[in-house]
């Protein structure tokens, strides 16, 4: 599949890939890991990790999540640094506004991890804007451990699976599936608008 990119239209805050790459490098260095060691732990190609750190490529959630898991950090720490002097007391609840959650754009998708400051969480909630409309805009299907729940907030979305199955859902409709099965979200609103979804992923 080709790697053509579309442009997401967004009103939400984004950080650039240079910041994500710099944070990845700092966390790796703090753990005294080489790129080769991180590659072996994460399953992400060494050349890809190097390009990520040097901000030479935008990568999918799958690769960002794999690197974060290998470093034993929450993926949100790649988007915003951990708060210094955070209280060791487990909070009862944390709240995040979508409009202020830092995000990252791959061109096809725009990701905004939510509630990253809840320690030891077992789910990853994420707001996403779906910009891509065609399968050939992706190099491959996205796969990661765990299960995934999605609800459409606006627009219409088709979730295409590598099995050949697909599901089309509209506003306030949901999907629940095994994330290890290759999948791609596509916007399919008749007016050509991006779609917005809230996704919750389990870690395992």
Residue pLDDT, tens place only, 55-108:
888 888 889 889 999 999 888 888 876 555 555 677 899 998 988 888 888 889
CATH number of 11-105: 1.10.260.40
- Hunting for tokens 């910041």 — which residue is that? 19
How many Cα atoms occupy the beta-carbon half-sphere of 193 within 13 Å? 10
Cβ atoms of 2 and 99 within 8 Å: the answer is no
The domain ranges of the chain are 11-105, 122-202
Q: Which residues of 112-127 are buried (b: 16+ CB within 10 A; e: fewer)?
A: bbbbbbbeeeeebbbb
Cβ atoms of 198 and 149 within 8 Å: the answer is no
**pLDDT at site 11:** 62
**CATH 2.60.120.10 applies to domain 122-202:** yes
Phi/psi-derived region of residue 19, left when phi > 0, alpha when psi is between -120 and 50, beta in every other case = alpha
What stretch of H or E contains 15?
A: none
Cβ atoms of 185 and 109 within 8 Å: the answer is yes
Which one-letter DSSP state was computed for residue 128?
E
Q: How far apart are CA 120 and CA 118, in angstroms?
A: 7
The band of 1, judged by pLDDT with boundaries at 50, 70 and 90, is: very low
pTM assigned to the model? 0.79
């Amino acid at each position: 599949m080709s790697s053509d990119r579309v442009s997401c239209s967004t009103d939400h805050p984004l950080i650039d890939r240079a910041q994500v790459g710099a944070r990845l490098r700092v966390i790796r260095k703090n753990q005294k890991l080489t790129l080769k060691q991180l590659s072996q732990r994460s399953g992400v190609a060494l050349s890809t990790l190097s390009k990520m750190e040097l901000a030479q490529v935008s990568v999918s959630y799958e690769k960002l999540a794999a690197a974060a898991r290998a470093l034993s950090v929450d993926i949100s720490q790649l988007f915003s640094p951990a708060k210094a002097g955070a209280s060791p007391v487990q909070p009862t609840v944390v709240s995040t506004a979508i409009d202020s959650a830092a995000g990252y754009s791959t061109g096809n998708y725009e990701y905004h991890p939510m509630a990253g400051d809840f320690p030891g969480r077992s789910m990853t909630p994420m707001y996403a804007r779906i910009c891509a409309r065609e399968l050939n805009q992706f190099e491959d299907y996205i796969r990661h451990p765990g299960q995934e729940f999605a609800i459409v907030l606006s627009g219409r979305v088709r979730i295409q699976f590598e099995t050949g199955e697909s599901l089309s859902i509209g506003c306030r409709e949901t999907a629940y599936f095994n994330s290890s099965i290759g999948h791609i979200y596509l916007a399919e609103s008749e007016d050509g608008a991006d779609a917005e979804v809230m996704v919750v992923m389990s870690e395992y």
